[in-house]
Amino acid sequence: MCGEPRASDAGKKAVLMGWVNRRRDHGNLLFVDLRDRSGVSQVVINAERNAAIHEKGEALRNEYVIAVTGTVKLRDANTVNPNMPTGEVELVADELRILNESKLPPFLPSDTALTNEETRLKFRYIDLRRDVMQFNIELRHKVAKAIRDYLSAQGFFEIETPFMTRSTPEGARDYLVPSRVQPGTFYALPQSPQLFKQILMISGFDKYFQIVRCFRDEDLRADRQPEFTQIDLEMSYPQPERVWEVVEGFLTAAFRAAGSEIKAPFPRMDYDEAIRLYGIDKPDLRLPAFTDVRECFARENLQQLAVNANLPVVAIRIPKVGELSRAERDSIKPLFVSKGGAKLFEDFKRIEKNFPEVAAKIATKSGTDAGDLVVIVAGSAQTSSAPTEAQSLIPPHRKVTPQELAIYASAGLLRLALAQKYAERHGIFKKTGDPEKDFRFLWVTNFPMFEWNEGEKQWNAAHHPFTSPHEEDMPKLETGVESMNDPQSALNSVRALAYDVVLNGTELGSGSIRIHRQDVQRRIFRALGMTEEEARSRFGFFLEALEYGTPPHGGIALGLDRIVMILAGAESLREVIPFPKTARAVDLMVDAPTPVGEKQLRELGIIIRKSRE
Ligand code: ASP
């Protein structure tokens, strides 16, 4: 047999190959923990049984690669190790071969105290030998396979699309690849296969998916990587609900592969409602929503508090925080970032003292229990109706005005900051083992089509420019385009057939029903400030393709790395990507990027400027 021996193998001959995880020398007895992909097994080398291999065994060091032939034996009861799957048995060695030696690595795969991340990434091959990394990479494989199997069974074809292509607008900078054959020209690595998957619908492959690498040159955060993997899909003739059903299906399969039974369909919420209830377009449903407590106050109360009575007054409740000292209450203030006109009342005690009836109503309306923390966010009386910078922060929406949005968004950020700060006390983020509580999925729908870019004074696509507006908002597109340099234009209230799937406050993926008519696509490009000429030069091929009988279509893309990260309970994407890059987009193991030689540059017709301009 090969692989981990178990009690049922007792008496059998076995061959084990792997690394020396640890070696313990007890004189005539040598114990070697041998590690392979399936785990760790104990090998015993007994000098009395075989002096020659005992001598060889003495030369063994950590991370040597060995092959051992021997007999599986049940351990004595007092030496059974219940913490190891192979803990009931050991392999008594008859033969030992050293297949390769190893230098002493900078850290050992068996070390429990982790060395710094730079060293881990530089010696990634050692790091990947660690249990948890082996677990994470196996989990990634199982999740990807479950998704592939599910989608294939649903009739989707996995179809590859090019990496060397031209720019696709997903809102980041492109990574460019210079062409040697045509000096001065560049391919762009795809930010997503968006246009290709749409073209595949035009080509008659009515159900496409791809687990595919995407490349975006943007400022990195813990949950971003310059190259990352999407589960990308597209279908012909779907209603949004059909796309959601497919996603729910493959996520159920993926979570099952990781041992969690989740429930579908996921709840759905309008973008507008998400803003009103959570102040963010990716609500974490594990925490209580806001309560609108404006009506708990009489107008005079609001006046006394210098609060604008026409704007929302929002109570944020964080459960089970317990009594806070004065200093602790004061420490809440710096967490509050006002997005313009929003003010904070962090001392609910003072409201209780000065307005006892109001406080009682708020407590009832928000379902506050003893020990819950309640803070109030409202609009300041002075900044009543002037438009605020918040317009550029989150897209304004037809129902939530920019002034309201400023209050909701400020409250939304504070809600999350407070929930983080008191995470130990309320324990809501701790896994319970019940997937229904641990994984709170949500569809957020009906996003605004456009968002106003204050810096560039123009409208941007909130999702991407191939997203279809709502049929009934099409006329607004016409009037909106006429005043498209105005943040108040009718474009403000055009809704998109776009949707996001959210898990525990993290956006897992975004998608939309697409524009399938060339005239509508042109109008959208125009609304985005693109001249006819620009549109033709960037997307001419696509506009042309749209003219050849394009079926209605739609799709979505989800981040595979993020899903695996959540399932692995990992802190960063780097824990679930075999060869990730640092926050400075560097691969420390292979040392990339690097300068290239003069000859190569010359061939590509590239001259490097000495200093960046
Ligand atoms: N291409 C989009 C993205 O990468 C997803 C989609 O609309 O399907 O976000």
The predicted-structure confidence for 578-588, as pLDDT tens digits, reads as follows: 999 998 899 99
CA of 131 to the centre of ligand 1 (A): 34
Say what the pLDDT of residue 612 is: 57
Does the beta carbon of 512 sit less than 6 angstroms from any atom of ligand 1?
yes
Instruction: Report the nearest atom of ligand 1 relative to the CA of 509.
Output: 9
C-alpha 95: how far from chain center: 49
Instruction: Report the nearest atom of ligand 1 relative to the CA of 197.
Output: 8
Q: Which residues of the chain have pLDDT under 50?
A: 385-398
Give dist(CA 562, CA 504) in Å, integer: 12
Instruction: Report the nearest atom of ligand 1 relative to the CA of 214.
Output: 4
Instruction: Name which residue sits closest to atom 7 of ligand 1, judged by CA.
Output: 511
Which of 156, 194, 501 to probe ligand 1 with, by most ligand atoms within 8 A of CB? Answer: 194
C-alpha 384: how far from chain center: 37
CA of 411 to the centre of ligand 1 (A): 29
Question: Hey, which bits of 272-354 come out as E strands?
Answer: 291-292, 314-318, 342-345
Helices then strands, each counted (H, E), the chain:
20, 21
Does the beta carbon of 556 sit less than 6 angstroms from any atom of ligand 1?
yes
SS3 category, 237: coil
Q: What is the CA radius of gyration of the chain?
A: 30
Encoded tokens for 405 = 């949005």
CA of 138 to the centre of ligand 1 (A): 26
Instruction: Report the nearest atom of ligand 1 relative to the CA of 191.
Output: 4
Which of 168, 189, 192 to probe ligand 1 with, by most ligand atoms within 8 A of CB? Answer: 192
- 311 closest CA partner among 402, 416, 393, 414: 402
Give dist(CA 256, CA 134) in Å, integer: 19
CA of 512 to the centre of ligand 1 (A): 8
Encoded tokens for 325 = 């000292």
CA of 511 to the centre of ligand 1 (A): 5
CA of 553 to the centre of ligand 1 (A): 13
Number of Cβ atoms within 10 Å of the Cβ of 436: 12
CA of 170 to the centre of ligand 1 (A): 8
Does the beta carbon of 510 sit less than 6 angstroms from any atom of ligand 1?
yes
Contacts 24+ apart (CB under 8 A), 519-522: 520/468, 520/469, 520/474, 521/465, 521/466, 521/546
SS3 category, 213: strand
SS3 category, 511: strand
**Rounded to 5 degrees, what are φ and ψ at 227?**
-120, 130
Give dist(CA 363, CA 374) in Å, integer: 8
Does the beta carbon of 170 sit less than 6 angstroms from any atom of ligand 1?
yes
Give dist(CA 499, CA 443) in Å, integer: 7
Does the beta carbon of 511 sit less than 6 angstroms from any atom of ligand 1?
yes
Number of Cβ atoms within 10 Å of the Cβ of 209: 27
Instruction: Report the nearest atom of ligand 1 relative to the CA of 234.
Output: 8
- Residue 162, judged by CB atoms within 10 A of its CB (0-12, 13-18, 19+), counts as exposed
CA of 232 to the centre of ligand 1 (A): 7
Instruction: Name which residue sits closest to atom 4 of ligand 1, judged by CA.
Output: 192
Does the beta carbon of 467 sit less than 6 angstroms from any atom of ligand 1?
no
Q: Are 501 and 443 in contact (CB under 8 A)?
A: yes
Does the beta carbon of 557 sit less than 6 angstroms from any atom of ligand 1?
yes
Find the helix or strand (DSSP H, E) in which 445 lies.
strand 441-445
Number of Cβ atoms within 10 Å of the Cβ of 500: 22
3-class SS shares of the chain: helix, strand, coil, % to 5: 35, 25, 40
Which of 218, 224, 230 to probe ligand 1 with, by most ligand atoms within 8 A of CB? Answer: 230
- 477 closest CA partner among 464, 492, 462: 492
**Amino acid at the residue 91:** L
What's the farthest any 2 CA atoms get from each other in the chain?
Answer: 95
Does the beta carbon of 136 sit less than 6 angstroms from any atom of ligand 1?
no
- 14 closest CA partner among 66, 67, 69, 65: 69
- 516 closest CA partner among 541, 564, 551: 551
* Distant-in-sequence, close-in-space partners of 327: CB < 8 Å, separation ≥ 6: none
SS3 category, 504: coil
CA of 455 to the centre of ligand 1 (A): 24
Cis peptide before 265 (omega within 30 of 0): yes
Does the beta carbon of 198 sit less than 6 angstroms from any atom of ligand 1?
no
Give dist(CA 102, CA 581) in Å, integer: 26
**Amino acid at the residue 113:** A
Say what the pLDDT of residue 221 is: 67
| First-last CA distance in the chain | 64
Give dist(CA 231, CA 557) in Å, integer: 5
Does the beta carbon of 248 sit less than 6 angstroms from any atom of ligand 1?
no
Instruction: Report the nearest atom of ligand 1 relative to the CA of 512.
Output: 7
Does the beta carbon of 194 sit less than 6 angstroms from any atom of ligand 1?
yes
Q: Are 515 and 528 in contact (CB under 8 A)?
A: no
Number of Cβ atoms within 10 Å of the Cβ of 319: 18
- Name residue, tokens 């399969």: 253
Say what the pLDDT of residue 3 is: 65
Say what the pLDDT of residue 454 is: 82
Does the beta carbon of 558 sit less than 6 angstroms from any atom of ligand 1?
no
Does the beta carbon of 555 sit less than 6 angstroms from any atom of ligand 1?
yes
CA of 399 to the centre of ligand 1 (A): 26
Instruction: Name which residue sits closest to atom 8 of ligand 1, judged by CA.
Output: 556
Report pTM.
0.92
Q: Are 112 and 87 in contact (CB under 8 A)?
A: no
Give dist(CA 133, CA 127) in Å, integer: 7
The DSSP line for 158-176 is E----SSB----SSSBPPE
Number of Cβ atoms within 10 Å of the Cβ of 316: 25
Number of Cβ atoms within 10 Å of the Cβ of 75: 17
Q: Are 266 and 501 in contact (CB under 8 A)?
A: yes
Give dist(CA 65, CA 18) in Å, integer: 5
- 345 closest CA partner among 369, 370, 322, 362: 362
